[in-house]
Amino acid sequence: MAWSYKRLWKLLIDKEMKKVELKQAAGITSSALAQMGKSQPVTMESLGKICKVLHCRLEDIVEYIPD
């Protein structure tokens, strides 16, 4: 099972926002951000906080890639 956060990274580029700024604005942990950087799953709570800050939907930031 694999997760892709490429959509999130592209969205951050479009919004001219750095990962550190997202972390602070969304109130997520450094470890959650690191997990996303490694394409690992994170909690729905963290993803929800990111969606709230970026005014987007879950499918706008994460994609499930089956094995």
Instruction: For each of the domains in the chain, give its residue range(s) and CATH number, in order of start.
Output: 2-65 (1.10.260.40)
pLDDT tens digits, one per residue of 3-21: 899 999 999 999 999 999 9
pLDDT at residue 5 in the model: 97
Assigned token pair, 42: 């994170």
Q: How far is CA 3 from the centre of its chain?
A: 11
DSSP string over 7-21: HHHHHHHHTT--HHH
Residues 6 or more apart from 52 whose CB is under 8 A from it? 26
Residue 67 has pLDDT above 90, yes or no: no
Q: How many CB atoms lie within 10 A of CB 38?
A: 8
Residue 27 has pLDDT above 90, yes or no: yes
pLDDT at residue 66 in the model: 87
